Amino acid sequence: MSISDSFHQWLAELNQRMEGARKIGVSDLKKRAEDVGDFLAKYVDPRTPEQALLKEMWEVADEQEQQAIANCMFKLAERVGSGVR
d(CA 26, CA 10): 21
Amino acid 1: pLDDT: 46
Domain ranges of the chain: 7-81
Per residue in 3-58, pLDDT tens? 555 778 878 888 888 888 777 776 677 777 778 788 788 888 888 888 889 899 99
Q: Is domain 7-81 classified as CATH 3.30.70?
A: no
Amino acid 29: pLDDT: 73
pTM, rounded to two decimals = 0.70
